[in-house]
Amino acid sequence: MSSSSSSSTNQSNENPIPRPNRSKTRAPPLGDVVNRRNPLGDITNQKTGSRISAPSSTLVHCSNKISQSKKATKPPKPIAKSNLLVPYEDIELRNALGEDEVDDIDSDLVDPQLCGVFASDIFQHLRSSEVKKRPAFDYMERVQSNINASMRTILIDWLVEVAEEYRLLPETLYLAVNCLDRYLSGNVITKQNLQLLGLLEMESSVLNYLKFELTTPTAKCFLRRFLRAAQGKTEVPSILFESLACYLSELSLLDYAMLRYAPSLVAASAVFLAQYILHPSRKPWSSTLEHYTSYRAKHLEACVKNLLQLCHESPLSDVVAVRKKYSQDKYKFAAKKFCPNSLPQELFL
């Protein structure tokens, strides 16, 4: 959604993105959309600037999977009530951390991309902003009567495939999922129209409902900083570690139950679990990570265990995009890394 919205400004006058007929009050049937020659229009590749078209077969396949999905779904996972709200840093946390115990990852003033002078203030702003544009974590039960979490998973899995096919920036995927969930938090939708949330046909409806407020901190925003804090400015960045944390974070997008956790909490938990998977003999959380994430290990327990559960769950045969993506060499086969069956309780003390 956000990718198609942003890409529309980059199109030339010779080949504009098809726009819906504003005189119509409802979106056309999905069959009419997927049978068009260019259902997604020309989407701009954000890395190369080239334009490519989406094959309609992928849209039809996604539509068929959604339509075949049953309304009945497995019981929801128990909600960890202590994590429904963002456990912001308490005063004791900073007081407990001596300055000599924390690596200063913002002291590099050579690289302007790191914004070392303002990084701490920017992060604090993101932490306060992430709660303002979060979707409801119970909208499936409270708002939606025609769709379920499995249908949402199929749609997001397809969005992952589209983002990978078009080489879109990771932020585009995370923002798209955020917009989708925020829209579904207040608008009843039918099974037949669910996939339209990923197309231009519903762009106007979505943008107006969200009041054009599309930007919000996502787990990906926090993940970069947390990875830097975990590796330190002196260590050589590990592509496998970064890929594994990204894989865990992206898996969380598929699971409706993960909406209960703040994006920063998901990012911190992904780093925690990635650390433990790669180095089980080391302590996965440090005073430096506490300082820069504002989370203690005990804050992460429920979310980390849910991420581990996602790694071990047998995915639906129709939901393979994330695992397929991170099973590639360029991501160091992160999805194929061995994951422990359980975690020692002392890790969270």
pLDDT tens by residue, the chain, 349 residues = 444 444 443 433 333 333 334 333 333 333 333 333 333 344 445 555 554 445 555 555 677 777 777 654 444 444 444 344 445 444 445 445 444 478 888 776 666 766 777 788 888 888 888 988 899 999 999 999 999 999 999 999 999 999 999 999 999 999 999 999 999 999 999 988 888 876 866 888 899 999 998 889 999 999 999 999 999 865 677 999 999 999 999 999 999 999 999 999 999 999 999 999 999 999 999 999 999 999 999 999 999 999 999 999 877 777 899 999 999 999 999 999 999 999 999 999 9
Please report, in angstroms and rounded to a whole number, the separation of the first and last CA atoms in the chain.
41
Q: Tell me how far apart the alpha carbons of residues 299 and 287 are, in angstroms, rounded to a whole number.
A: 14
Query: Hey, what are 206's tokens?
Result: 């979505």
Q: 3.30.465.10, 1.25.40.80, 1.10.472.10, 3.40.50.620: which CATH number matches 217-348?
A: 1.10.472.10
- Per-residue pLDDT at 164: 93
Ranges assigned E (strand) in the chain: 42-44, 51-53
Q: Enumerate the domain spans of the chain.
A: 217-348
Q: Give the containing element (helix H, strand E) for 322.
A: helix 321-325
Q: Which residues contact 256 (CB under 8 A, 6 or more apart)?
A: 140, 149, 152, 153
Q: Which residues contact 182 (CB under 8 A, 6 or more apart)?
A: 133, 134, 135, 210
CA-to-CA dists, residue 85 to 82, 129, 140, angstroms: 7, 13, 19
CA distance 277 to 272: 9
Sign of CA dihedral 208, 28, 183, 186: positive
Determine the pLDDT at residue 84: 46
pTM above 0.85, yes or no: no
Could you give phi then psi for residue 14, rounded to 5 degrees?
-75, -25
CA distance 316 to 159: 16
Kindly tell me the burial class for residue 156, based on how many C-beta atoms sit within 10 Å of its own C-beta (0-12, 13-18, 19 or more).
buried
Strand partners, 53: 42
